[in-house]
Amino acid sequence: MQIPALELIGLSHRYPDGTLALDGIDLSVLAGESVALLGPNGAGKSTLMLHANGVLRPSSGTVAVDGVGIEDATVREVRLRVGLVFQDPDDQLFMTSVYDDVAFGPLNMGLPPDEADRRAHEALHAVGLADQASRPAQHLSFGQRKRIALATVLAMDPSLLVLDEPTSNLDPRARRDMIALITSLRVTRLVATHDMDLAWELCERAVILDAGRVAADGPCKDVLSDEALLFAHGLETPPSARAGRPCAAPGTIRP
């Protein structure tokens, strides 16, 4: 039996103010899957994602990555496997140069400087910004900073990539570039987004959250074509589906 890349069992999370953000979530993401996490604002998407690498801990239930449960003793190991990219790139960029931002993670995990350097350069080439390595990230465009934030995670060589609104606030060209970039990455993906076309183009499976619970889970082509279901949860059918464009096929990112 295949061990899930990410497995949530009975996951609930209540914030200190009493807000129940997640209420008994059961969800498995298999290695090689690309899964869209959809839902209205306040549905619990960001809270769920923050559990994937132990930034938040469950009020009840369990979280496991590649079969390793997240606990105090294992959280460092899990964070090496899970790359979490925040919606706002400025939450991840804090060094004096783009290169230093991207090399920070590998150095911080104790890799030799030459290996950290190799990983940093490979990640910068992967996102198409190797020529910006010496510049401060704050001097780059928002779209470029989004890609640098992704590079900081790719340098850690994660087995699971967790993306929070990767196309938010991007102009059309930058959005297309980001979708092409993510598509090129052969890694398991969990993508939280309001961009329904992104979900249609990028993901083979869609999970709808609402009020902290799983409201639907199935193939993107089925979930995102169900107008009544989407309307009930504050979502809309993606234009690509209405236009008859093909949805991402199952297994498209598996080796």
Q: What is the pLDDT of residues 173-229, one digit of tens each?
A: 999 999 999 999 989 999 999 999 999 999 999 999 999 999 999 999 999 999 999
Give residue 252's pLDDT. Answer: 52
Expressed in percent and rounded to 5, the helix, strand and coil fractions of the chain are 35, 25, 40
Give residue 245's pLDDT. Answer: 87
| Angle (nearest 5°) at CA 87 between 86 and 88 | 90
Which strands, in side-by-side order, build the sheet including 60-65?
20-29, 6-14, 60-65, 68-69
pLDDT digits (tens, 9 = 90+) for 154-175: 999 999 999 999 999 999 999 9
Global confidence as pTM: 0.92
Q: Residue 172 in contact with residue 121, Cβ under 8 Å? A: no
Structure tokens at 160: 């699971």
Report helix, strand or coil for 52: coil
Give residue 255's pLDDT. Answer: 40
Report how far residue 48's alpha carbon sits from residue 178's, in angstroms, rounded to the nearest whole number: 23
Report helix, strand or coil for 41: coil
